[in-house]
Amino acid sequence: MAYFRIPYLLDGPWYLSWLTATTMFALLFVYGMLYGLIYRRAGLPGTSIFGATQLGALALAAIITTWAHGWGNIGRFLTALTATGVTGALAVVVAVMLAGGFATIRRLTV
């Protein structure tokens, strides 16, 4: 499986590589779950609005970062982050998305 090792993210001991890969897979699963929940709750228009809102938020963040000349600071932050830090940050994102998914699924009618 050395062919699939991403040099920066999956370097290190086996347990850290396993934890990083598992966190990334969990992030993809939870993101897809959120889209499915929103589709079940709001249908195609709601899912389209959800996707457009995400793209709009990313575009607005890029515009503000460009206006504030902050790309260098973001680059320095990302290059200073270790693989363990990336795993921790992704785990926080997974936890927040799981909480949002749990709140959404509780209001979902079957």
* Residue 1 pLDDT greater than 60, yes or no: no
- What is the number of other CB atoms lying within 10 angstroms of the CB of residue 20? 22
- The torsion of the CA quartet 85, 55, 29, 44, rounded to 10 degrees, works out to 170
Q: What percent of the chain has pLDDT over 70?
A: 95
* Residue 11 pLDDT greater than 80, yes or no: no
Comparison of pLDDT for 7 and 72, the residue scoring more: 72
pLDDT at 8: 74
**78-106 pLDDT per residue, tens:** 889 888 898 999 999 999 999 999 988 88
Comparison of pLDDT for 109 and 53, the residue scoring more: 53
C-alpha dist (Å) from residue 14 to 5, 20, 23, 99, 110: 11, 10, 14, 29, 42
